[in-house]
Amino acid sequence: DGGITQSPKYLFRKEGQNVTLSCEQNLNHDAMYWYRQDPGQGLRLIYYSQIVNDFQKGDIAEGYSVSREKKESFPLTVTSAQKNPTAFYLCASSITIQGENEQYFGPGTRLTVT
């Protein structure tokens, strides 16, 4: 089955530690995205990548970093510079066909930093 996998489902870290969230897709989609979700705030875009070896900052990129070395993979690192890292993180991918585009989402990773 094609889809997007995020691991782990739950992640706990101590303050001051960097942590990397995994996102893998086997949909052959060119574009991938990372969102952060907090209660009552909807989804906020952290980073996105439209092609391998290229990525762009979203609305809340500070304290985060990404890489896109392979089409299938788009890992997100939450650095110690991120002031409020505890949140639900969602990865998505998309493809555009004849001008139509829709996103497919992974199951999410809930990060708790104490």
d(CA 53, CA 106): 21
Is 48 among the residues that bind other proteins (CB under 8 A)?
Answer: yes
Give the residue, chosen from 54, 83, 100, 114, that forms a contact with other proteins under the rule CB under 8 A: 100
Is 42 among the residues that bind other proteins (CB under 8 A)?
Answer: yes
Which residue do the tokens 């002031």 mark? Answer: 83
Is 4 among the residues that bind other proteins (CB under 8 A)?
Answer: yes
Is 64 among the residues that bind other proteins (CB under 8 A)?
Answer: no
Q: Which residues of 5-44 are buried (b: 16+ CB within 10 A; e: fewer)?
A: ebeeeebebeeeeebebbbbbeeebebbbbbbeeeeeeee
**Which residues form the interface with other proteins (CB under 8 A)?**
4, 6, 9, 31, 33, 40-43, 45, 48, 50, 58, 88, 90, 92, 94, 96, 99-108, 110
